[in-house]
Each structure stands twice: as C-alpha cells, then as structure tokens.
Amino acid sequence: MDVPAHLLNKSVKCACGMTHFVPIEEVAVHHDVQYLMAEYLERKKYRNLLLVADSNTFEVFGARLERYLQDTGFNVGTCIFSERHGLLPDEAGVQKVTQQIESADFDTVLAVGSGVINDLVRYSTFHQGLQYIAVATAPSMDGYASNMAAMQFDGLKVTSKAHPPQAIFADLSVLMDAPFELLQSGFGDLIGKVISLSDWLLAKDFYGEHFCQQSYNLVSEPLSYIIKNAAHLERRDSKSVKGLFTGLINSGIAMAMMGHSRPCSGSEHHCSHFWDLMAYKGHRGHASHGLQVGYATRWMTRFYRDVLHLDSVQEPVPFVVSDSFQQFAHRFYGAGADEVIQAQTAKSHWLKESPFQAQELTNEGLHSVLQPTTTMMQQLENALTVMSISSEPESLELSEELLRLTFEHAKDLRSRYTVFDFLEGQGLLAEMIDRAVLSLHAS
C-alpha cells in the first residue's frame, strides 16, 4: 500500500468523467528524511526558506531540520508559535504567518507540524501566492495533501479553498515516536471515513451526486487495512504506522482529485465541527479533532445500523430553510449565522434540483447501497476500543443535552447531504435521536 505516484503532478483522465490533477510533486516517508528534503530543495533551486512550527514540533524535528539545512547552505528563517497546546487555525495565527512571509523574500515555506500548523501555512501561502512544503511530525490527520484549509473564523469551523503542498516529507522515526494521542487522532480521523464514504454512497444512489470510484478506493483500501491492523498500530509497528500515514495522505489526495472534501468528511466530521463550536462558545473544552471524529464515528455507526433496519425508503419530505430556522441560526450561531443559512439554502436547492432516485427502495436495496462499507462498520467498535478511543461522552465533556443538540444541528454546518439529512427526509431523525440518547442510560 503506497502513495499513488502515477497520480502526482499530472493530469489524469478518469472513468468518472473528470480529469484529475494533483499538484503534489513528491511524497517521501523515510528515516532521516532531511537528506531527501535537501535534494528536493536543490532541484527546485530554493535557497531562502521560512520554517513554521510550534514549540513541540520545533523540538521534535524542526530544530534538527533547521540546523541541517543551514549547514547544507540554505538560508532558514523561523516562525515559531510558543503555544504547546491549544493553537488554533484562526485569524491571529494567519496574521502571524503572513507577517513573517512578508518580512523577507522567501522561496518557499516549510510547515513543520501536523493539523493546525499545516492549515495556517496552507491558507496563508495560498493567499500570498507562495508554495509550501509539508513536513509531517505525526500521523495525526488527513489534511497533509488536501487543497482545503480547515480554519476557525469567528469561532466557526470553515473549510476554505487553498492549495496542497508542493511536496510532503515525513521522518518515519518521528512518526513512530509521536505521542500516542496523535496516533489515536490520526486513527480516528481515518476510521471516520467509513461514515463519510457511506454518506457519499447515499448521495450517489439517492440523488445522483457525482462519484469517483478511484477516489473512493484511495480512501477505502488503506482504511480497511488500518481497521484490520489496529492492534499492530497500537504497538507502534513501523509498517502499521506507515500504513496509517499513507492512508491519511491518500485521503488528502482523494480530496485534491475531487476538488472538495466529500470522500473524507461527512456526518462524523460535522459532529466534530459542532463540538469545536461548542468549545469556542465555552460550553466544553477543546479536544483533539481525531479523537472527536473517532467518538462521533461510534454514534454514526449506530445511526447507520438503524438505517439498515428500515423496511423501505419513502419519498423524502421536502427540505426548506424556514423562517424559524433562520431565526434560530441568528440566535445560536451569531456571526456565523449567514454562512450556516447559505449552506442550508445551497443544500435545499441541490435537493430540489436533484430528483430522488430511491422511491420504495426495500431493505434489501438499502443493504445493497451500503454494502461497500457495511463490513468495515461491523469491525469499527473493536478497532476503536483497541486504540483506546473512548466510548464515554464525558471524555470529551459532552453532556446528554449537548449530544442531542449535536445530532439535531451538526448538519446545519455544511451543505453536504449525509445520513442526518436522509433520516430527516424520511421523517425519522427525531425518533432516531431519541433512541440514541436513550441508549446512554442502558445498563
């Protein structure tokens, strides 16, 4: 299982009807990867480099990389965030990186870190018209290869257009030594794609949403591998750690191929985004994205089990963005209300313009639609437990009330069709939420 070199930095005509182009030139995962980095930088004729890191990632790999590159003849400036915990991809972070970029004539930027560092650099360099290189320090998230930046503006998680890195480098020893919480986070982020792929299958078969089998396979194949090898990953086996990282990179490539995050972000991510918003509002503490996605995946698997027990599928109730919803959005989302309303309006228009294709679908038909992901769903609970991703809401400071609110409104945050929208269209969402919340009290 490798990164698909045949898809990198070239136009590829696909059977799905799209011509995919992934503008990433090189991906390297090796021990002592700084040597390969220097060779790449020489080939690109880059001499003036800005290295962006936080205190942790600078200690783990950034300082060593800076020394080696300087000794090799490169000019290296640094932008180090002092935060060891709680750094956010927000307006203040963008401002700091942008000011450093504008302070000198840099050829490229090295993003040494994982999620937040890469999102800050990806967003800032895109708006400055400057390329960047991702230097991964943990197999903790799927965004390394993505052309989208997961930002947090006005407290609301937003997915902003950006660009992927020119190249991705990771030192395998550094990945293997990453804190276990970061391995858990990457595992949670990857395993959640069982749900995002299932949501994509629903949208494809029910409404004819564009679907790419090649992108789907890029995500599903390493996902299946890592679910089966969770015990090896828990022991930090080098093959499994590299397999996790490859799966995360391939997920990012799948997103870049499609030009959006549909293959890798569905209802499980929407729950996580909603919890981020609740943390910003002060209702709970901030938590790891991957741990949140892993926990949400447990719940979404439950909702899908309920879907697979339906006798049939009926013509959905028309989806409208009502005046009462807009009033709620302004009360609840504040400055982010307009974006929420726009997302739901876009969803409403798409559903209206896309004829429903599954009238009177039987239970057997439902199983057929979801068959590609059903086996993985059946293996999820054990894999999550092996990786010690909690099944207790208290671990993420989630009350029963907050869980109910999540299941009711996580779908507000994006225009993407998910299992939440399916259940609402069937008139079953409230009932299924009641069942889910009631299960918290089961002995």
Q: What is the DSSP letter of 72?
A: T
Condensed to tens digits (0 to 9), the pLDDT of residues 86-137 reads 788 999 999 999 999 999 999 999 999 988 999 999 999 999 999 999 999 9
81 close to 93: Cβ distance less than 8 angstroms: yes
- Cβ burial of 128 (10 Å; 0-12, 13-18, 19+) is middle
**Cα(244)–Cα(425) distance, rounded to whole angstroms?**
36
Tokens encoding 402: 């907050």
Q: Which helix (H) or strand (E) holds 112?
A: strand 108-113
Alpha helices, DSSP H, located in 45-137: 55-57, 63-71, 91-102, 115-128
How high is the pLDDT of residue 154? 84
Rg of the chain over CA atoms, in angstroms?
22
> Residue type for 144, please?
Y
Q: Which helix (H) or strand (E) holds 369?
A: helix 363-386
Residue 313: strand pairing partners: 361
Task: Give kind and range of the element (H or E) at residue 200.
Answer: helix 193-207
Amino acid letter, 194: V
Beta partners for residue 78, in sequence order: 51
Question: What's the chain's length in residues?
Answer: 443
* DSSP annotation of 58: I
Question: Are the CB atoms for 220 and 251 separated by under 8 Å?
Answer: no
Question: C-alpha angle with apex 198: 215 to 19, nearest 5 degrees?
Answer: 20
Residues 6 or more apart in contact with residue 92 via CB below 8 angstroms: none
What is the structure's pLDDT at 365? 95
Q: b/e map of 312-338 (b: 16 or more CB within 10 Å)? A: ebbebeebebeeeebeebeeebeebbe
How much is the pLDDT for 442? 76
Please give the pLDDT value at position 2. Answer: 83
For residue 126, give the amino acid letter: F
pTM of the model: 0.90
- Domains, in order of start, for the chain: 9-178 (3.40.50.1970), 193-316+356-441 (1.20.1090.10)
pLDDT given at position 360: 81
Residues of the chain with pLDDT below 70 are 443
Query: Per DSSP, which regions of 127-176 are E strands?
Result: 132-136, 148-153, 156-161, 167-171
By C-alpha distance, which of 221, 151, 190 is closest to 297? Answer: 190
